[in-house]
């Protein structure tokens, strides 16, 4: 916004030179991007933020200067005195929600000609070319008061009617509407766009641009001058859809002053009467939706705590009064009534900002921020999350970050049943894409998309994980949030002369075993899986101390088919773990154990049992055997095939024996080991593999 200093001085006696004024305005939130000398005057280039449309005018900046320097404001003459005859014009607003107020004045007998030099010069300083005296005055008042106006050639308005409404309402949707605007282009008008009509046709795109058919020309004798308040969202939508931007639309779509528009209309009518002559007729004012000020309650103590200052109540009220904000002191609080040109003030935080910028940010004491050191659950969660992150990276996985949105059809792809908790999703009211209209309830669909993206680009080994929250609709105001770890593993099978590839399930399971070791979780078990999208017999539910925390498994053949990967037949392993449940099982402290001084002895057991018995159950049985020299137990082989009866499987366990106070003899180890073998066979009904 370009502000000539001479024009500004007509509205307020600026007590400082332009350079100092520029610095003060910058410190109150209006950055001065440049200072330029134009035709013997100084012009300030002011950067006005989108939330302050009231400052897109000389008057708006004058208000700020008045508040900053506490000097009075001088409004130019706006009141029309003397006899004002009535006109035959009528105004009809069909959609008050789009046009809350529409004022007009009929001015008869004007002389259209070139503008005076002082108007031309000020328009030129602000970057607007002169057209004729009538149009130039509407532009002049736009720059002075910040409210757009439009002048119609009254002789072209049929039956002296002004109608405001969108095409689908006025024509009842019977035909599409086109209008030739002042730039000479004929445009199609979207049905919901607000238009100004006479009794037969559209004559202007409301708040954006007038129509060529009612343009003020040298032959114009009578004019109808409008000043209105249009819904900002409606104007913005129309401007974007019609690809038509103007000085008027720029202001209307940010919001104008519904109360002050009458003064802008009268100011323009007075200037037209003084410069172009004519008789100004009585005001016509259609105001179906009255402005109701929205009050804000502020607490003085909270204001000072937010700002880090100690302002007295009188100082706070004085600052707000200088800003033109009416207040009611209630003791410890105040009720604030923002003026209609400050609709951006909606909460006590907005009021605090106004106080801060007028008091001066440079006057706020500098202090080092303080915060408590958290040694409790919040701090431990952060540390545990870092441990999970590092453990996954050390096992060769790369981190993925996905959006928190989900398409419900992805659950259909995974064959998730209707009664599953993951079907209870939170619906987003205004999604970025209709396809992703829910908050995710599982991490797996997004990870599968990441996998497909990498596979399509020739990646032969894919290991990705994500640590993020999922959301469940629990019927309350806020959703249930849980921190989850999800992952996916894939390795393209290829011939190898020097090693045998391990099944992907066990590679991914090994990564999770390493994770649990990092977190010092020892009582973890893998049991037959219950997830519908995993391959039966190649999947497991993960439990800690008997409580299910997640799952791991190979995607089933039907899911592979839905992904369009049936020809490749890839082995894709996925896993998902509830980290909040995991964190509850992490021990509070770690007990130090001295490095053993004495050697260990290893013995193996190869046991043939029913294939329905999980290896985790046998491990648990071995751990219950009463012996003080069993140090560690591991499963190192699982086999079904030739040499093993149908319905049976062979499991091989490695047992580590060690004593803390002596070197074990072979006889001692053999005695305990033989007894352990008998104990396990009795408990499982199995037999040693021959």
List of residues 6+ apart from 107 with CB closer than 8 A: 154, 222, 223, 224, 225, 269, 272, 273, 278, 279, 280, 281
* Dist CA 587 CA 654 (whole Å): 26
**Low-confidence winner among 30-44, 149-163, 362-376, 440-454 (lowest mean pLDDT):** 362-376
* Dist CA 448 CA 54 (whole Å): 51
CATH class (in words) of the domain with range 296-362: alpha beta
- Could you tell me which residues are beta bridge partners of residue 481? 471
Task: Select the CATH number that applies to the domain covering 2-69 from these four: 3.40.50.300, 1.10.10.10, 3.30.56.10, 3.90.340.10.
Answer: 3.30.56.10
Task: Select the CATH number that applies to the domain covering 377-583 from these four: 3.40.309.10, 3.40.50.620, 3.30.930.10, 3.40.50.300.
Answer: 3.30.930.10
What the block records as the tokens of 167 is 């095409």
Q: Which of 342, 345, 315, 313 is nearest to 329 (CA)?
A: 313
Which class for 137: exposed (0-12), middle (13-18), buried (19 or more C-beta within 10 A)?
buried
Is the pLDDT score of 339 beyond 80? Answer: yes
Average pLDDT of 62-68? 96
Is the pLDDT score of 18 beyond 90? Answer: yes
DSSP state of 37: E
Average pLDDT of 573-592? 90
pLDDT tens track for 414-469: 989 989 999 999 998 888 777 788 999 999 999 999 999 999 888 889 999 999 99
The pLDDT of residue 160 is 93
Q: Which of 237, 226, 220, 219 is nearest to 203 (CA)?
A: 226
Among 255-264, 545-554, 681-690, the range with the most confident prediction by mean pLDDT is 255-264
pLDDT tens track for 601-627: 999 999 999 988 888 788 888 888 988
Is the pLDDT score of 328 beyond 90? Answer: yes
Is the pLDDT score of 497 beyond 60? Answer: no
pLDDT tens track for 269-293: 999 999 999 999 999 999 999 999 8
Average pLDDT of 539-563? 89
The pLDDT of residue 256 is 96
- CA 648 to chain centroid: 56
Strand pairing class (90-93; 161-165) = parallel
Is the pLDDT score of 379 beyond 80? Answer: no
CATH 3.90.950.10, applies to 601-688: no
The total number of residues written for the chain in this structure: 690
* Dist CA 554 CA 573 (whole Å): 4
> Angle 251-35-264 (CA atoms, 0-180°, nearest 5)?
30
Average pLDDT of 11-27? 94
What the block records as the tokens of 179 is 């209008």
Among 372-381, 386-395, 680-689, the range with the most confident prediction by mean pLDDT is 386-395
Is the pLDDT score of 298 beyond 80? Answer: yes
The pLDDT of residue 460 is 87
CB 85 within 8 A of CB 107: no
Average pLDDT of 316-325? 95
Is the pLDDT score of 299 beyond 90? Answer: yes
Q: What is the DSSP string of 69-123?
A: HT----PPP----S-----S-EEEES-TTTEEEEEEEEEES----PPPHHHHHHH
Over the Cα atoms of the chain, what is R_g?
39
CB 165 within 8 A of CB 228: no
Is the pLDDT score of 136 beyond 90? Answer: yes
pLDDT tens track for 216-240: 999 999 999 999 999 999 999 999 9
In the chain, what are the domain boundaries? 2-69, 90-286, 296-362, 377-583, 601-688
> Angle 31-37-42 (CA atoms, 0-180°, nearest 5)?
60
- CA 252 to chain centroid: 25
Is the pLDDT score of 374 beyond 80? Answer: no
Query: Band of the pLDDT at 640, cuts 50, 70, 90?
Result: confident
What the block records as the tokens of 420 is 């599953």
* Dist CA 179 CA 176 (whole Å): 10
Q: Which of 45, 78, 48 is nearest to 60 (CA)?
A: 48
What integer best gives the mean pLDDT of the chain? 91
**Low-confidence winner among 105-114, 202-211, 463-472, 504-513 (lowest mean pLDDT):** 504-513
> Angle 397-401-403 (CA atoms, 0-180°, nearest 5)?
150
CB 464 within 8 A of CB 451: yes
The pLDDT of residue 273 is 96
CATH number of 90-286: 3.50.40.10
The pLDDT of residue 458 is 87
What the block records as the tokens of 574 is 């996925």
Among 43-47, 363-367, 541-545, the range with the most confident prediction by mean pLDDT is 43-47
- Could you tell me which residues are beta bridge partners of residue 164? 93, 196
Q: What is the 3-state secondary structure (H, E, C) of 224-276?
A: EEEEEEECHHHHHHHHHHCCCCCHHHHHHCCCCCCCCHHHHHHHHHHHHHHHH
* Dist CA 659 CA 669 (whole Å): 10
Is the pLDDT score of 500 beyond 70? Answer: no
What the block records as the tokens of 29 is 């939130």
Percent of the chain with pLDDT over 90: 69
> Angle 13-15-20 (CA atoms, 0-180°, nearest 5)?
130
**Low-confidence winner among 149-158, 171-180, 224-233, 255-264 (lowest mean pLDDT):** 171-180
Q: Give the SS3 label for residue 351.
A: helix
The pLDDT of residue 495 is 64
Average pLDDT of 630-649? 87
């Amino acid at each position: 916004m370009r502000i000539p200093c001479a024009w500004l001085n007509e509205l307020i006696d600026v007590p400082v030179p332009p350079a100092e004024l520029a610095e003060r305005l910058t410190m109150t939130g209006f950055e001065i991007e440049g200072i330029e000398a134009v035709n013997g005057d100084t012009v300030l280039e002011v950067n006005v933020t989108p939330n302050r449309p009231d400052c897109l005018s000389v008057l708006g900046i004058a208000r700020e200067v008045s508040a900053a320097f506490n000097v009075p404001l001088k409004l130019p003459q706006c009141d029309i005195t003397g006899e004002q005859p009535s006109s035959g014009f009528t105004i009809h607003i069909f959609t008050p929600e789009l046009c809350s107020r529409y004022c007009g004045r009929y001015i008869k007998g004007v002389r259209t000609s070139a503008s005076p030099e002082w108007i031309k010069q000020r328009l030129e300083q602000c970057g607007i070319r002169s057209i004729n005296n009538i149009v130039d005055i509407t532009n002049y008042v736009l720059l002075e008061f910040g409210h757009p106006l439009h002048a119609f050639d009254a002789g072209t308005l049929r039956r002296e009617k002004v109608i405001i409404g969108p095409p689908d309402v006025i024509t009842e949707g019977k035909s599409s509407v086109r209008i030739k605007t002042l730039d000479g282009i004929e445009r199609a008008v979207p049905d919901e766009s607000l238009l100004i009509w006479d009794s037969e046709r559209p004559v202007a795109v409301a708040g954006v641009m007038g129509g060529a058919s009612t343009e003020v020309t040298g032959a114009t004798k009578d004019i109808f001058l409008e000043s209105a308040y249009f819904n900002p969202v409606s104007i913005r939508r129309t401007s974007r859809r019609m690809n038509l931007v103007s000085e008027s639309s720029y202001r209307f779509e940010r919001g104008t002053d519904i109360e002050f528009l009458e003064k802008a209309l009268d100011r323009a009518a007075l200037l037209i009467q003084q410069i172009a002559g004519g008789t100004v007729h009585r005001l016509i004012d259609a105001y179906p939706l009255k402005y109701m000020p929205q009050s804000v309650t502020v607490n003085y103590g909270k204001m000072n705590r937010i700002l880090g200052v100690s302002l007295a109540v009188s100082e706070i009220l004085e600052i707000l009064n200088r800003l033109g904000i009416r207040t009611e002191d209630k003791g410890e609080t105040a009720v604030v009534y923002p003026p209609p040109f400050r609709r951006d003030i909606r909460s006590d935080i907005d009021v605090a900002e106004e106080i801060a910028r007028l008091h001066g940010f440079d006057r706020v004491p500098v202090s080092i921020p303080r915060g408590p050191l958290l040694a409790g659950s919040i701090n431990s969660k952060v540390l545990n999350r870092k441990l999970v992150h590092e453990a996954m990276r050390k096992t060769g996985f790369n981190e993925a970050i996905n959006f928190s949105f989900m398409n419900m059809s992805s659950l259909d792809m995974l064959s998730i049943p209707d009664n599953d908790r993951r079907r209870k999703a939170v619906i987003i009211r205004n999604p970025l894409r209709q396809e992703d209209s829910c908050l995710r309830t599982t991490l797996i669909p997004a990870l599968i998309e990441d996998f497909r993206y990498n596979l399509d680009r020739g990646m032969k080994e894919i290991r990705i994980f994500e640590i993020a929250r999922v959301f469940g609709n629990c019927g309350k105001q806020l959703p249930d949030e849980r921190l989850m770890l999800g992952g996916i593993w894939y390795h393209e099978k290829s011939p190898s002369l020097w090693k045998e590839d391990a099944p992907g399930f066990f590679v991914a399971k090994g990564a999770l075993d390493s994770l649990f070791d990092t977190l010092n979780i020892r009582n973890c078990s893998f049991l037959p899986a219950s997830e519908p999208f995993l391959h039966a017999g190649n999947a497991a539910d993960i439990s800690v101390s008997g409580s299910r925390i997640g799952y791991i498994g190979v995607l089933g053949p039907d899911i592979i088919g839905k992904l369009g990967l049936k020809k490749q037949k890839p082995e894709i392993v996925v896993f998902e773990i509830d980290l909040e449940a995991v964190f509850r099982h992490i021990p509070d402290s770690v007990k130090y154990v001295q490095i053993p001084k004495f050697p260990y002895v290893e013995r193996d057991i190869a046991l043939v049992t029913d294939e329905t018995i999980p290896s985790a159950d046998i491990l648990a049985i071995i751990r219950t055997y009463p012996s003080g020299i069993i140090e560690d137990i591991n499963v190192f082989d699982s086999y079904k095939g030739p040499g093993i009866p149908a319905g049976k499987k062979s499991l091989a366990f490695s047992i580590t024996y060690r004593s803390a106070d002596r070197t074990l003899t072979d006889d001692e180890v053999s005695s305990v080991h033989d007894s352990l073998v008998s104990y396990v066979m009795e408990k499982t009904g199995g037999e040693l593999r021959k």
